[in-house]
Copies of this chain bind each other. A is one copy, B any other.
Amino acid sequence: MYHLTALVTLLAIAFYFFTCINVARSRDKTGVKVPAMSGHPDFDRAFRIQMNTLEWMPIFLPSLWLFAIYISDAIAAGIGVVWIVGRIVYFIGYSQAAAKRSPGFAIQALAAFALWAGAIGAVVLRMV
């Protein structure tokens, strides 16, 4: 079983859900009504934070699980925690200004790449 990876998956989903809630809260603050998806710089950044997190979910989650299955539950979960931390840093930075989104983005990109590269390396090793 992959208890740690399962736990990190559910925590990552919880954080992603928080970025969705934040868009709804930003609608109240900025007055951008549904179904409009832009209209105020603060709302636009809140929406981009959610969208970017969504965009990385199909990179992160399959890589996380294949890494866990082919290499190690504990290491996958550890790198997964780094990914979530990077996402939180990204959220805080980008909420302040578009220029402050880079450090968090880099952390989560490196974590996702480590999971992807480890997984593909391990899969190929098993096949040869």
Contacts of A101 in B (CB 8 A): 34
Contacts of A10 in B (CB 8 A): 62-63, 66, 116, 119-120, 123
A sample of 13 cross-chain residue pairs with beta-carbon separation below 8 angstroms, ordered by A number, consists of A1-B126, A4-B127, A6-B70, A6-B123, A10-B66, A13-B58, A16-B58, A35-B41, A35-B44, A35-B47, A35-B48, A37-B38, A54-B58
Give A residues with C-beta under 8 Å from B. 1, 3-4, 6-7, 9-10, 13-14, 16-17, 20, 33-38, 41, 44-45, 47-48, 50, 54-55, 57-59, 61-63, 66, 69-70, 98, 101, 116, 119-120, 123-124, 126-127
